[in-house]
Structure 1
Amino acid sequence: MYIMKSEAEPRRRHHDRAFKAKLVEQSMQPGASASAVAREHGINANLLFTWRREHARAGTVARSAESAVLLPVRLAGPAEEMLAEQGAQESSGLAPATNRSSRPGVIELELAGAHLRLRGTVDEASLCSVLRALRQSA
């Protein structure tokens, strides 16, 4: 038995990186069909999906701004109170409060040879007058 060999052996096509990147970008556009993009360029859709995974792993796929999603945010606790207070002050034309912290803390300063320790909530006006007095005494 004799088997004839064809001169044209089937070979795999090799696509350059630019071609792959172009098709991946086209398939990632909003509303684009990866299968349709693959058909337009004469390749199997599974091959295009493989290229998309490879580009995603390599981090070379640029995400379009249109694909960004806004998520709802709900504030809870002290932040809600602070925003409500701020909104009320803005609507009434009052200056915003400078002391927004309701939790006591400690501030320690060493200035001009003096050691200053403030505990609890600190009023900004009082702190400024103490610092001015320390600066003048130095």
Structure 2
Amino acid sequence: MKDQIEASRRTRRPHERTFKDDLIAQSLMPGASVAAIAMKGGVNANLLFKWRREHVKAKAAVASAPPNLLPVCVIPDVGPAPTSRPATTVDPSGAHVSRSARPGVIEVEIAGAQLRLRGAVDEAMLGSVLRALRQSA
């Protein structure tokens, strides 16, 4: 009697993470049939829908995570002090820019990688590089 009860119990099959990720990726393609993909993978369509919901929820949680703040060390310039105050102008973003400012150096260390930027730095490009480094970490 005990053997019959144990045999009739439903057991959950463990699925490899790569198997789940593959089915999720296939099901997220435009025009994909979740039911057909689930059938081909040998799982119930409801289970695949559950995996998709968990995947989208986890992805949204990562996207909404607060940005990581990085330590910054300011090293004073050892060059000669300016004799007069340089003329400044205002750029379209509203920040003051020195006309006679010398190009500086920005050094950033992220996940063991060191990034050194010399000269004038494009803010949009720097943002793209930092986002790419953060995602690779």
TM over 0.5: no
Length-normalised TM-score, structure 1: 0.39
* Higher normalized contact order (CA 8 Å, seq sep 6+, divided by chain length): 1
Q: Which has the higher helix share?
A: 1
Length-normalised TM-score, structure 2: 0.39
